[in-house]
Structure 1
Amino acid sequence: MAEPIFYVDHSDIREDRLADVQRGMRDLAAFVEAHEPQLIAYHFYVDERESTMTVVAVHPDPASMELHLELGGPKFRAFGELIRMRSIDVYGRPGPVVTDRLRQKAEMLGGGTVTLHTLQAGFSRLAPVT
């Protein structure tokens, strides 16, 4: 069984663009929910100062993340004028194709860093315990 991949990114919301970002978040979340049934979780957050957007996603495997980047590419570009990406952190092993695409995404959205974190210990309970 492939280990899950946890994705977290942080972006600065550009001045006076919060409402646009919120509309974009709802649109993208609805699109992903409709087109990517394999995704375990996909959430957008805005900090209390309403200046930072955070995206948290849980993929079951690298193929899920690759599909997400392929399908979401055009939608991600729409955020280019709304945010400046600061960082992408990936927990797990996405593979070289996904890593390259994440670096391209970060560059397109403002030049943020991409950091990969390798699992050292732990476990996941992704299905309910019965």
Structure 2
Amino acid sequence: MNDFLVYLDTSEVRPGKLGELKAAMEELAGFVEAHEPRIVAYKVYFSGDGSRMSVLHIHQDISSLEFHLKVAGPRFPPVAPLVRLLNIEIFGAVTEEVMKQLEAKTLLLGGTVIIHDPGPGFSRCGPPTTRRQ
């Protein structure tokens, strides 16, 4: 289980909370950037009408996601009154520990967890490999 993972969560923005949510997510993104050097990408997106928010992150491996949930997890509760989590989608294999952490997040924010197991394909994420031609 050393392949990269993609995490995507989608939430409804509670009425009248968009400005407060944007500020909270800017603060959270800054925290993640400063404290999680292994995360490949962390981006927040809002729908054109401001009614939905999606948070996308890409992790080098499962331990990066585990670390994110432990380190950033304590910063999720202040966001809870601003959103209603619809779902968390994980693209990649997860551990039992990550599932427990994700279930705890859905207990706090609502929503469901959807795991997409890896299938055929390739990735150019991660360290470059040496190939002979």
Scaled to the shorter chain, the TM-score interval is: over 0.9
1:1-130 pair list within 5 angstroms: 2-109=2-109, 111-126=110-125
- 1:49 Cα shift? 1.2
Identical counterparts, % of pairs: 38
Q: Quick one: distance in 2 between partners of 1:99 and 1:74?
A: 17
Show structure 1 runs of 5+ residues with no match: none
Over 6 Å off, 4+ runs:
none
Q: Bigger shift: 69-78 or 50-59?
A: 69-78
Normalised by the length of structure 2, the TM-score is 0.92
Q: Quick one: distance in 2 between partners of 1:23 and 1:35?
A: 19
Q: Quick one: distance in 1 between partners of 2:68 and 2:94?
A: 12
SS of 1:65's equivalent in the other structure is helix
How many residue pairs were aligned? 128
- Write the deviation string for residues 45-80 of structure 1: whole angstroms up to 9, x where unpaired: 000110000000001111111110011112111111
Q: Quick one: distance in 2 between partners of 1:127 and 1:66?
A: 17
The 1:99/1:128 distance shift into structure 2, 3 A limit, reads: closer
Normalised by the length of structure 1, the TM-score is 0.94
The answer to whether the Cα contact below 8 Å between 1:65 and 1:94 also exists between their aligned partners in 2 is no
Q: Quick one: distance in 2 between partners of 1:46 and 1:80?
A: 16
Q: Quick one: distance in 2 between partners of 1:47 and 1:128?
A: 33
Higher-Rg member (1/2): 2
